[in-house]
């Protein structure tokens, strides 16, 4: 299982390196409805993720997941994420241009 994850991660890293843009991680599919495909949410209630610092995004997601930052909606979406998936999501949204 671990090997598959590592293989998937390095494959997407290669993809990103060769095309000069970072591909959206698989888990981002569940975030699109509220935060937009590239983290530029269109609804003011949903914070924009595009261009925020990766370390900040990573911490917020872990805090939602682990109950240090309270928001019922985000807790539900962060709940199933592993540390590696959170890192990948944070790097992806940080690399997107804010609009």
Q: How far apart are CA 94 and CA 75, in angstroms?
A: 20
**Footprint on this chain of ligand HEC (rule: CB under 6 A):** 27, 30-31, 33-35, 45-47, 49, 52, 57, 60-61, 71, 73-74, 77, 89
14 conformational bin, left if phi > 0, alpha if psi -120 to 50, beta if neither: alpha
Looking at the Cβ atoms of 18 and 25, the one nearer to ligand HEC is 25
Looking at the Cβ atoms of 16 and 75, the one nearer to ligand HEC is 75
Least distance from C-beta 88 to ligand HEC, angstroms?
Answer: 10
């Amino acid at each position: 299982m671990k090997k598959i994850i590592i293989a998937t991660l390095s494959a997407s890293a290669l993809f990103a390196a060769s095309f000069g843009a970072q591909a959206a991680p698989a888990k981002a599919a569940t975030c699109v409805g509220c935060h937009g495909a590239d983290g530029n949410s269109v609804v003011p209630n949903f914070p924009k993720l595009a261009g925020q610092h990766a370390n900040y995004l990573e911490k917020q997601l872990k805090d939602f997941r682990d109950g240090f930052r309270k928001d019922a909606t985000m807790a539900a979406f962060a709940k199933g994420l592993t540390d590696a998936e959170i890192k990948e999501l944070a790097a992806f949204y940080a690399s997107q241009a804010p609009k």
